[in-house]
Structure 1
Amino acid sequence: MQMYNINSNDVEYMETRALITPLNEDVNNLNEKCMIMFPGDSTTYYSFDSVSDDNHNLYLPEFLNSINPGNLLPHKLTLKRGCPIMLLQNIDPKIRLFNSTRLICRRFGRNIIETNILIGHFKGLRVFIRRIPLKSAEDYKMPFELTRKQFPVILSSALTINKSQGQTIGHVGIYLPNHVFSNCQLYVALSRGVSAHTTRVLVKNYVIEGHEGVFTKNVVFRDI
C-alpha cells in the first residue's frame, strides 16, 4: 500500500512492475486487489449497450449489461488516477497505440480518459482514449447482435501470461495458483523478467507425488 502511495504517479516505477498469471479469472482478481491499493477516489464508467433493429425494445438495458461475450469490453470499468491500464484495440498506429499497449491513467472526463503511454518509443506521451463501439462475435451464440460502446481498456497491474509475450518487465511477480496448462507457458512467464533477482514466483498447488519441495509442472508438447 505504501509503495503505491509513493509511486502511483511515477511512470518509470509502473512501467517496470507487473504480475502475470495464466487465467483471466485470476488476472481480474489481482487487478481488483491492486486497484484498491491505489490512493484517491475511483471513477466508474458504464457501457452503452444496444441491439440493432430492436424497434420494439425487446431487450432491456439491464439484460444487455449482464452479457459478457469474450470479444467485448466489460460493462463496468472502474479506474483510479495512477493505475496502469492496457489497450484492447488498435487505436493509432502512428504512435504505436496497439492492442496490448500499456498506459497510466492521469485524469477522467465524462467521455474521455487522459493517459500517458507506459512503454515503448513514445513512453510518457499524453494520449486521450475515447469510447468505441464493438459488436459481439458471430460465433457467440445469441439471437441478436449486441453493440457495446465502452473505453477499450482493462486494468493491467496483472496480465495473463499470453498478453505478456514480447514484453520485458523489470520486476515481475508470477502467480501460479495451479499448474500451467499450455505448451511452453512456464518458459514465457519466467522469461519476462530481466534477472532472477527481480523475478518472484508464488506457486499455490505445488505438491507433485514423489517429490519434496515446491514444484510446478512444465507443460511441453514434445511433438511441437
Structure 2
Amino acid sequence: MRVQLFSDIASGAYAQKLLEIGEGLLGTDQDGMIPFTQQFCHAVESEDELIEKVFPNMQQNIVDENWLCERTILAPKNETITKIYKKILAEINTETSVYNSIDTVMSSDDTTNYPVEFLNSLELSGVPSHKLELKVGEPVLLMRNLDAPRLCNGTRLRVTELGRHIVKATILTGEAKGDNVIIPRIPIIPNNLPFNFKRLQFPLKVAFSMTINKSQGQTLKVAGIHLGTPCFSHGSNHSAKECRTPVRCSICKRTHHSLLHPKDANSSEENKTECVVNSSEAGKKQQQVLLATALVKTICRNGNEYSIRALLDQGSQASFVTESTVQYLGLKKTGFTSQIAGLGGN
C-alpha cells in the first residue's frame, strides 16, 4: 500500500500504532489476535453492519459525489468484493443494465480446446467480468489507461447514463474531477494464461468495494475493512521480530522503513524526514510515497539464479527493467518505439 503521512496529530498517532503492530509490540489475546480500541477502529459484528457503517442512508446520499468518492469497503479477495457490491447494488432503486462481454480465442487452433462458455467463466485479476451489472449513480473504477492523465487505471467515476455501446460517467478523483466522459468497450487481452484470448468489455468495475491490493493510491475518509478471509497466506504473517534483514530505519535504528517514521510537528527541520522524487519541475518536493517491493528469484540465460528487487505498482500497465539488470542477466535487447504516459501526463 502507498503510505502518505501528514504532519497533523491524528495521522502521527495512527502511524505510530501501525509501527507497533508491525514490530510486534502490541499484546495479543488468547487466540493470538491483537485487540483494538475504538479510537483506532470500530469493529462490527456482521457484513450488513459494515455496509451500513460505511454507506449510511445509501438511497439519499448516493447523489452526493463528494460523499461517494471518499468511502469504500476493502477486502483481500475478489470473491468477497463481488458479494459485497451485489448486496449494496440491491439497495439502489434504479434499473440494472447488464453488459455481457464478447470473448474469443486469438488462435483458431484453440477454438475446440477453449469454448466460449469456458472463456465467459474466467474471472481474472485486472480484467473486467464477462457479466457486468451497472446502475445509474453508482461509483465505478476504471481498469485501464484510456486518456492519461484524466482517465488512468484506478480512476474512480460515477455512472450518469447507460447506453447500449457506451457508458457516460463523471470523474470523481484526480485533476479532471467533475469532467463528464464517455467510456467505450475496449478489447482486453490477458497475458497470464497458457493461451491467448480477447475480451471485449467496458474496462469498469463497481467501486463500492475493492481489493486491498487495488486500493493503492486511493484517498479515503471512510474505509471499511472486511477480514472474513485472512489477508496473509499460511506462514506469511511476517513481523519485525522475525525479520532478518540488516537494514534499519535511518532515524531510530528500528526495523521499518524511514519514510514510515511519524512526523513530529515540534521537531527541528534537521530531524524531519523528507522524500524528494524526480519531477518535471526540477527541485520541487513531493509528498512522501512508499511503494511496496519484492525480491523476485530470476533465472538468467546460463541457468544461474539471482534475486532481483521489483517495484509493485498495480496502476502500471507496462513492466520495465534497468539497463544494469539487462546486463546482469545477459538478456537480449530488441529496439522498438512506444509512447509512455505517467502520472501528471509526463
Cα deviation code 1:73-125 (max 9, x no counterpart): 21100011111110111111142x11111111110011100001111222111
Q: Are residues 1:155 and 2:206 paired?
A: yes
Cα RMSD of the aligned pairs, angstroms, is 2.5
Aligned-pair identity in percent equals: 35
Q: Which has the higher strand share?
A: 1
Cα pair 1:20 1:158 within 8 Å, conserved: yes
**TM-score scaled to structure 1, two decimals?**
0.74
Residue of structure 2 aligned with 1:87, choices 131, 142, 149: 142
Distance 2:152 2:110 in 1: 38
Residue of structure 2 aligned with 1:103, choices 137, 153, 157: 157
Alignment of 1:6-85 (within 5 A): 6-54=60-108, 58=112, 60-85=115-140
Cα pair 2:127 2:143 within 8 Å, conserved: no
Aligned residue number for residue 220 of structure 1 = 239
Cα pair 2:160 2:169 within 8 Å, conserved: yes
Q: Are residues 1:133 and 2:187 paired?
A: yes
Offset, 1:219: 4.8
Further displaced range: 59-68 or 7-16: 59-68
Taking structure 1 as reference, are residues 87 and 223 closer, same or farther at Cα in structure 2, changes over 3 Å only?
A: farther
Distance 2:153 2:178 in 1: 18
Cα deviation code 1:29-55 (max 9, x no counterpart): 111111111121100100011123428
Equivalent AA in structure 2 for residue 147 of structure 1: K
Distance 1:43 1:130 in 2: 15
Cα pair 1:22 1:162 within 8 Å, conserved: yes
Structure 1: tracts of 5 or more residues without a match: 183-217
Distance 1:76 1:127 in 2: 22
Cα deviation code 1:195-221 (max 9, x no counterpart): xxxxxxxxxxxxxxxxxxxxxxx7535
Further displaced range: 64-73 or 9-18: 64-73
**TM-score scaled to structure 2, two decimals?**
0.49
Aligned residue number for residue 114 of structure 1 = 168
Aligned residues: 186
Structure 2: tracts of 5 or more residues without a match: 1-51, 246-346
Distance 1:43 1:119 in 2: 24
Which is higher, the Rg of structure 1 or of structure 2?
Answer: 2
Cα pair 1:83 1:104 within 8 Å, conserved: yes
**Secondary structure at the residue paired with 1:72?**
coil
Equivalent AA in structure 1 for residue 201 of structure 2: Q
